[in-house]
A and B are shown apart, each in its own frame.
Chain A
Amino acid sequence: MNVHADVARRRIEELLGTSDEQILRRWSALAKAPVDELKELYQALRTALAEEGSDLADIRGLLAELSRDRVRRGHTPSDTARAVFGLKEAVYEVVEADGGPEALRGFIWFSRLIDDLGLYTIETYATAREKVILDQAEQLLELSTPVVKLWDGIVAVPLVGTLDSARTQVVMEKLLQTLVDTGSEHAVIDITGVPAVDTQVAQHLLKTVVAARLMGAECVISGISPQIAYTIVTLGIEFGDIVTKATLADALAYTLRRSGIEFGEGRRTQIAIRAEDA
């Protein structure tokens, strides 16, 4: 760094110190952020500048935090970037009032520094948002595949929508885990809400049934619509000795009977389950 540049830079550092309140107030207005939130950043920036050859690691850490926080609170990326770039304008007003050649020259250096930090903020904002989106997608995957307990010892998973391989696998793993967690011996996989079953989905279903058997549990598949029954047969998929039932209610009735649950006379008429003829 030559002497000129050094003097110019030092002038900016001085102004950041002497006019700190004015700059912070103006920055806060431009960035639409409370002074308190920006104060920490401002102090970190001043400390970093005072240190010869600082790599600005602290300030970058704070900016990354600011980005994450803004993502969580639903701010746009431009709002977030503006929060950083606002400092330039706030400092420029002080530089202009000063009017000296060092301050003006120093502002060019300062402006570049803020540009860098602003770009870094946008980058961390993008990364943070990507992570939030990925997390949400994962949650949705979990949410859209509920494994429910139908009865003591009987769990069911109603499959709904298009089954891509990722989802089918998640559902099946979750079902097997739930069998273990609840100590259930019966599972019903209901595919009423599935528009099409191809060989890959069928293979996932078959594997799950076999895995459940290895764990000592029995699976029943229910809700096979006529058009899906037809395509499964046309594809040549064999379900072997796997028990299938037309409806979830039929499957429940069947598993209840298999697990030896009997209803008293009064109960039977109240519950819409045909336990006898299932």
Chain B
Amino acid sequence: MTSLWPRIEPLLAKVQKPARYIGCEDGAQQPVHGPHKVAWLLVYPDAYEIGLPNQGLQILYELLNERDDAVAERSYAPWTDLEALLRARGVPLFSVDTHRAAGDFDLIAFNLSAELVYTNLLNCIDLAGTPVRAAERGPEHPLIAAGGHCTFNPEPLADFVDLFVIGDGEEVIAEITEVVGDWKRSGRTPGSRQGVLRELSKVPGVYVPSMYDVEYDGARLASITPKYNDVPARVEKRTIADLGAWPYPKSQLVPVTEVVHDRLNVEIFRGCTRGCRFCQAGMITRPVRERPAAQVQQMVSDGLKRTGYDEVALTSLSSADYSGIDQVVGGIINDPSCSGQVSVSLPSLRVDAYTVGIASEIAKVRRTGLTFAPEGGTWRMRQVISKLIREEDLYGAVDSAFSQGWQRVKLYFLTGLPTETDEDTLGIAELARQCVAVGRKHSNRVNVVASVGGFVPKAQTPFQWFGQNTAEELRRKINLLRDATRKERGVSLKWHDPKATMAEGIASRGDRRIGAVIEDVWRHGGTFQEWSEFFDLQLWEDAMARQGLSIDWYVHRHREADEVLPWDHISAGLHKDFLWGDWEDALAEAGTPDCRWTPCYDCGACTGYGIEHRVASATPPAGGSQGTGQDLSTGGAVPVQLLPRAGAGAPRS
């Protein structure tokens, strides 16, 4: 049992925000390691204040520590100041729980929520004293694992990660623990690493890249095939059928220093079937699995009591869609034990007046700004991306917000979407302008922030074939918007750096050859690339050039129908022909309905796995157009139908 604390402590006096490295959270564990316990180090490869609140990591931390045969601790990417000191003094990456060296763990498992953290993953492996390339590791080194949304295209990290977990982690970690436990008890003998990886590759939902051969046909990927016949040709994601069976985290970590989302977070459902075509999270987490309302109430009241927080967020991809959200919210704010001092937040507001009604109910205590995500500037654009919000929905929502005392509304948009014309782009400015006009009826000081991000096509979505806009093109579109909003009083424009969008594009749809680029960027000092103060496009361009790879080919090229995609052997359940059909519908400007409330169109996410939606109510809740573009203000009374399609492509049923 060796704690590195005596060596770390003197360094902490010399760094910014030393509380990032001390642990001490309420809910943190001090697990006792032993030869019969598989030791997991769960790492979020970004700064502590970003990583600590991650619910996925906290769920696994609790589940593993509940087991007799496992222990789990946590680590986060050390900030650059501490990293320099660690390297200078030869101190390795450590856990924040018992300050144990990362190399002492059997598994180092990373949570990957964004592509730009990939270089941090390499940096953490290196700081752990482990070779960054999987092929160079021996039995004395920990196994490097990764999970999270990014693993739906694992190939860019295939050279560095021993095993990927695809989909929900709750169940599969048990199976992995058992396989690794056997390896540990067998003494991790020379040559045994191949054996344990082969065993792991047979666990459903686990992808071991070294068990596959990759062939190219010129620049094109020809095939990715298993080396052995007991290794699956296609790795299917894991899905927990019933969220109610997993009331975790039970003891959410309460940090002793400032972090993002510093509040109680209760996940109310997983999955989303609204079908927004740009949204990888929505596509890969189907079907919808609601947590039973009674369990939500229980988790909220226990959580508030235990943590002392006065704010709870009900999290999901679209929280207002939860069956009976108004009752749940009402139950929390009227709970006498909360004495009216608890505020509830719904991090992803639906765009309609009804939702704003709930928001105003729950934001009695603090009222800052409201955020909506229309994503596209014109109805045409929103049909292409299948985000079927009508202008009336948006204006109704904004009117409701301003009339109830909000002064600031933030609107999220994407630019660089498939088929986007300048008219669509300028529609963003027009929507923002109209929202200000709506707000002026209530106050002269209203402010509408249009926040514009460059679109990065993601794997396992209908837009996976689309060639991303160049940084110049995105820049041009942003400039159009700047000109259009410059003189608009009340409209402010914010935008994401198109250069970072480009780098994200390299990593998000790359194949195995992009691994060398990520390593090159890291070796040239490119860590914390999602932080604007550290992001450096030159590093990425130089790395691509040094590896002889074309940015245009990887990022800006439209993929062809018959092309082998680098993630074809990884499955989120979605049939490739469903995705292709949905892509064609997009080009034909036809939206897709929400299958929670309309008949199943067999995308594969339920049908392929023998599971289904778990929703308390199969009729749409009141409010908004529910992704159909129709007025459903009275709720389930109105039957949902697909709008007639503009142009080609008959609706699949």
Q: Do they bind each other?
A: no
User: Which chain A residues have a beta carbon within 8 Å of chain B's beta carbons?
Assistant: none
